Amino acid sequence: MLLWPGLGRGRSAGGLDTLQATQIANQQHGVFVDVRPAEEYAKGHIAQARSLPQTDLEARAASLPKNKPLIVVCANGRGAGKAAAQLKAKGFEQVHTLNGGMLAWQQAGLPVSTR
């Protein structure tokens, strides 16, 4: 039980808040990678985010650019760490997670697309 708080902190330590994520997307042409199930993505996602459900990550990771920062987005910030670790293991060097996921994005009043 004593490890639980430390694990939570460690997971978010490398993550980005919504401001940092938008700065990376705008200034460094970062790519949002939404790892939620396709049904959740369809209900609302960050504009221009790529839908790459966690279940398809292993097979479809090669479709992502290796020369741009990747910002992994999940529903609430808890599931992105696993996807980020998978991407790093596949040779992606600039991988970040969005702290709080789509929930934080929406709470910040940032735009959500359904297209």
Which tens digit of pLDDT belongs to each residue from 69-115?
999 999 998 999 999 999 999 999 999 999 999 999 999 999 999 98
The CATH number given to whatever domain includes residue 45 is 3.40.250.10
What is the tally of structural domains in the chain? Answer: 1
Residue 114 falls within a domain, yes or no? no
pLDDT above 90 for 3: no
Residue 9 falls within a domain, yes or no? yes
Which tens digit of pLDDT belongs to each residue from 37-59?
999 999 999 999 999 999 999 99
Global pTM value? 0.87
Residue 77 falls within a domain, yes or no? yes
Question: Which residues span the domain enclosing 81?
Answer: 3-107
Residue 50 falls within a domain, yes or no? yes
Residues 6 or more apart whose Cβ sits within 8 Å of residue 35? 52, 53, 54, 57, 72, 73, 74, 79, 80, 83
pLDDT on residue 115:
87
